[in-house]
Structure 1
Amino acid sequence: MAERAIRASYAGVAYQVNITDGQHQWASDVDTQAGGGDVGPSPHALLLSSLGACTSITVAMYAQRKEMPLEAIDVDIRIEHEQLGRKPKIQIAREITLRGALSADQRARLLEIANACPIHKVLRGEISIASTLT
C-alpha cells in the first residue's frame, strides 16, 4: 500500500513543525523546557504513536478476521533507553492489554500478530534514508 508523502514545515515559531499528508494536518513540537511551545507531541512521541497505532490496527484486523472475542486493545509504549552517537541504539517497551473473553492460545497468537505489524518490522529492520537538498 502506497502511503501519501509527508511534509513537515518549520516556519520559525519556537520549534513547532506543521505536518501534513495532503489530507490530514497535525503538529510536532518540543516541551517548553527544551525551548518549544509544547503545541504537539515530540518527534519521539510521534514515532512511538506510529508503533502503537499500527499494533492496535493489525491486532484488531486479525482478531476480527478470525472472529475472536476481542473487545479493546491498549498499547502503552515508552523509550526505556536511548543511546545516541556513532552506533545509536534505542530500547522501546511496549505493553499490550487485550480485553475480551480470549483464550490463552488466542492471546498468544495476538502477541505474535502484534510483533508482525508493519511498523514493528520497519523499526526492527535496517533503515536507509536518502536525503537531498532542493
Structure 2
Amino acid sequence: MAAEAIVTAHLGAAGYTTQLSDGKHEWLADEPESLGGGNLGPAPAALLLSSLGACTSITLHMYARRKEWPLKDVKVTLAMNPDGKPPAGTTQITRKIELAGDLSEEQRQRLLEIANACPIHKVLSGTIAIDSSLVE
C-alpha cells in the first residue's frame, strides 16, 4: 500500500451521486434507488469491501508468484454484517476466498494466513483514528 493515499469526494448535482478522484482515476459512488439515490455507482459500503477484496487478491497473487506457486486465480467474496445489524460499535465482515490452481493443502492454508496480512485487512482490523476538520 502506498505510504499516502489521498482521495477527494465531491457531491454531484444529482441526488447522492458522489464523484471520487485520487488524482489519476475518477469513479462514482451512489446510493441505491431504494434509499433515494440514482444507483449510478457502488454504495459506500461496497466501496469499502472492494478495497479489502482487491487488496486480498493482489496480496495473494504477489505472494504465490514470489513463491512460484501455481495459483491461477483468486476470487474474494465479501459481505458486511451478513447476519443483520450487529451490536452497536461492531461490524462483521465475512471474506470467502476461492483459490484456483494445483495447490497443496499446505499452500492453500498458507495463502489463507497471508490474506490476513494484506495491508487493508491490517488497517480495518486495527485501531482507526479519523481526524475531521472543516476547511475555510
TM-score bin (small chain): over 0.9
- Determine whether 1:2 maps to 2:3: yes
Secondary structure of 2:92 counterpart: strand
Match of 1:123 in 2: 124
In the aligned structure 1, how far is the partner of 2:20 from the partner of 2:128?
22
Match of 1:105 in 2: 106
Indicate if the aligned counterparts of 1:82 and 1:88 stay in contact, CA closer than 8 A. Answer: no
Cα offsets for 1:27-79 (capped at 9, x unmatched): 00000010000000000000000000000000000000000000000000011
Shift of residue 82, structure 1, vs aligned partner: 3.8
Indicate if the aligned counterparts of 1:4 and 1:22 stay in contact, CA closer than 8 A. Answer: no
Match of 1:17 in 2: 18
Name structure 1 gaps, 5 residues minimum: none
Root-mean-square deviation (Å): 1.2
1:51–1:41 CA distance, 2 compared to 1 (3 A):
same
Q: Which moved more, 1:6-15 or 1:28-37?
A: 6-15
Determine which structure has the larger strand proportion and give its number.
1
Secondary structure of 1:98 counterpart: strand
- Determine whether 1:69 maps to 2:70: yes
- Determine whether 1:26 maps to 2:27: yes
Shift of residue 88, structure 1, vs aligned partner: 1.8
Shift of residue 5, structure 1, vs aligned partner: 1.1
In the aligned structure 1, how far is the partner of 2:113 from the partner of 2:30?
34
1:47–1:82 CA distance, 2 compared to 1 (3 A):
farther
Quote the sequence identity (%).
52
Indicate if the aligned counterparts of 1:10 and 1:18 stay in contact, CA closer than 8 A. Answer: yes
Flag as ranges the 4+ runs of structure 1 deviating above 4 A. Answer: none
Secondary structure of 1:23 counterpart: coil
Name structure 2 gaps, 5 residues minimum: none
Match of 2:115 in 1: 114
Q: How many pairs are equivalent?
A: 132
Cα offsets for 1:68-101 (capped at 9, x unmatched): 00000000001124447xx421111110000000
